[in-house]
Amino acid sequence: MRKIRIATRGSELALAQARLVAGLLSARHPNVAVELVLVESEGDRDRATPLAALGGTGVFTRKIQEAVLSGSADLAVHSAKDLPTGQTPELVLAAVPARGPREDVLVAGRRRLADLPAGSRIGTSSPRRQAFLAALRNDLVFEPVRGNVPTRIRKRAEGEYDALVLARAGLERLGLAREIDQVFGPEMILPAVGQGALAVEAREDDRQLRDILAGTESVPARREVEAERAFLATLGGGCHLPAGIWSETSGDSLVLEGGVALPDGSRVVRRRVAGAADDAPALGHRLAEELLASGGREILQELSRFEGQDRLPEEP
């Protein structure tokens, strides 16, 4: 019997996601024993310093990847939206399981966005969420928020924030769907690259494990994530960029809608492309190129105006 050690962060959401992958492995390979290896990421260790100051991209993934590279774990489970677009040497994206919901949601004590009075304090540290939400409501006040999902919900309930914007998938995986007051479709807020998807990394030379993980793979989810990551890589930004993308697979076709916005929401550019799903990375690249040519490049150049503001990695 082979034992597979899964490296994961210790937050409730990270553990829930690691257990999802463990369950997939156990269901397909009953002769495999699965063990979780808890790893404290840089973002978990320091909860006071702004995430951008900790290095931005990779603060939730680097230590977990190092555990796999060092041999203390066999594979790593990440939220796909946390995984930097550049490939880590000696590691491969071995599996992308079936994707969860990708939308952002509002948690506001039984109120919808239209019900919030002007000046309401919205807890979010995501430049993307802030930018697209500000385009809808420029009379809201956006305040940074740290902590895991239950902590954020508690802070809102105690009055520190009037509302939160969180990932629907995270709330559902934690059994907290009851907290959702409004689901933001892509016409309102475009999700983060990879949002709702899990990314399973393994060592490139571990062929046996990669063959085992192939049974957990969802081809549509893989194609969508590859298209979205190519989109972000072509834009030249990391998870701090106020850009989002929506992917929709239908048979052999893939439809992508991407957008980029100024942090204050004063300008948003969106574009939509469709093509063959088996050409997903090229389609993501094409979407980014069309977005840049249609005004997105000017938005990216203008972002330097906002450099004095904290730009934090994507959050739960």
The answer to whether 78 touches 64, Cβ cutoff 8 Å, is yes
Angle between helices 280-291 and 219-235 (to 10 degrees): 30
Give the 3-state secondary structure of residue 245: strand
Q: How far is residue 139 CA from its own chain's centroid?
A: 26
The answer to whether 125 touches 315, Cβ cutoff 8 Å, is yes
Q: Which residues contact 83 (CB under 8 A, 6 or more apart)?
A: 61, 93, 194, 199, 201
Block residue for tokens 């430049």: 127
If the chain, 316 residues long, is cut into consecutive pieces of 10 residues, what is the mean pLDDT of each piece?
94 98 97 96 65 63 97 98 93 98 99 99 97 99 95 98 99 99 99 98 98 98 98 88 97 98 98 98 99 97 69 55
Question: Is it true that 104-184 and 234-306 share their CATH fold?
Answer: no
Q: What is the pLDDT of residue 315?
A: 62
Residue extents of the structural domains in the chain? 2-97+197-218, 104-184, 234-306
The single-letter code of the amino acid at 122 is I
Block residue for tokens 């491969």: 92
Q: What is the pLDDT of residue 46?
A: 61
83, HSE (Cβ side, Cα atoms, 13 Å): 29
Q: What superfamily would CATH give domain 104-184?
A: Periplasmic binding protein-like II (3.40.190.10)
Q: Cite the active site residues.
A: 82
- Tally DSSP H helices, then E strands, for the chain: 10, 13
Q: What is the pLDDT of residue 28?
A: 96
The fold of the 234-306 domain, in CATH, is Double Stranded RNA Binding Domain (3.30.160)
Q: What superfamily would CATH give domain 2-97+197-218?
A: Periplasmic binding protein-like II (3.40.190.10)
